[in-house]
C-alpha cells in the first residue's frame, strides 16, 4: 500500500505541474486480455468481422502483474470485447485482490452469473458499467443480438445482492 501511495503522490504531482517527463508508474491501466465477445450488436464492428479475435498471452499477463500491480490502484479490463470472457477471470480477480488493485469494467452483463464469481467481482470492483441499449426488452433485444433484457436485469439484481452485502 505504501508503494501505491507514493506512486500516486508522484503521479498527482506530475499532473499538477504539467510535467512532460514523469517519475512514476501508472496508477490506472486498461488491459485488453481478450477481444472476444459473445454477442453480435448492430453498432459494433465485431459483429461484422472487423475485429480480430485475440487473447493476451499468459506470459504477458504475468509480466504486467509483476511490473505494474505493485503500483496500480485500478485495472480496467478490455477496451474492446467482453471482459467477462477474459480467460481465467477468477484467477485474475484473485491477483487483483492479493495486490490491492481494484477492477473497472464495461460489460454487456450476460455472463455475470454464478455466486462465486459475483462475490469475487463485488469484492474487487470499484466500477461496473453494464451496457443497456434500450429501456424496453424489445428495443434492447433488437440491438444486442444474443442477449436477453430480462436476463441482464436479473444478473444485475443478483450482482447487487453481493455488492450491497459488502461493507
Give 70-101 pLDDT, tens digit per residue. Answer: 999 999 998 788 999 999 999 999 999 999 99
What are the E-state strand segments in 66-150?
74-77, 102-107, 125-130, 144-145
C-alpha cell at 61: 499477463
pLDDT above 80: residue 63 = yes
Cα-based torsion angle of the residue sequence 71, 33, 59, 90 in order, rounded to the nearest 10 degrees: 80
Going by the DSSP 8-state scheme, the letter that residue 43 receives in this structure is T
* pLDDT per residue as tens digits for the range 112-163: 999 999 999 999 999 999 999 999 999 999 999 999 999 999 999 999 999 9
Q: Grid cell 452483463 — which residue?
A: 109
Q: Which residues of 89-110 are buried (b: 16+ CB within 10 A; e: fewer)?
A: beebbebbeeeebbbbbbbbbb
* pLDDT per residue as tens digits for the range 93-124: 999 999 999 999 999 999 999 999 999 999 99
pLDDT at 1: 79
Amino acid at each position: 500500500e505504501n508503494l501505491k501511495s507514493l506512486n500516486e503522490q508522484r503521479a498527482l504531482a506530475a499532473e499538477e505541474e504539467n510535467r512532460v517527463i514523469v517519475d512514476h508508474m501508472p496508477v490506472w491501466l486498461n488491459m485488453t486480455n481478450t477481444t472476444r465477445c459473445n454477442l453480435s450488436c448492430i453498432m459494433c464492428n465485431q459483429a461484422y468481422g472487423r475485429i480480430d479475435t485475440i487473447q493476451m498471452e499468459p506470459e504477458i499477463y504475468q509480466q504486467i502483474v509483476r511490473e505494474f500491480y505493485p503500483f496500480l490502484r485500478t485495472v480496467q479490463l478490455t477496451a474492446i470485447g467482453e471482459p467477462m470472457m477474459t480467460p481465467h477471470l477468477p484467477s485474475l480477480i484473485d491477483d487483483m485482490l492479493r495486490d490491492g488493485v481494484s477492477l473497472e469494467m464495461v460489460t454487456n452483463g450476460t455472463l455475470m452469473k454464478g455466486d462465486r464469481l459475483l462475490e469475487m467481482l463485488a469484492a474487487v470492483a470499484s466500477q461496473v458499467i453494464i451496457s443497456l441499449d434500450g429501456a424496453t426488452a424489445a428495443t434492447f433485444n433488437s440491438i444486442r443480438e444474443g442477449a436477453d433484457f430480462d436476463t441482464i436485469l436479473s444478473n444485475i439484481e443478483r450482482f447487487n445482492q453481493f455488492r450491497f452485502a459488502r461493507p
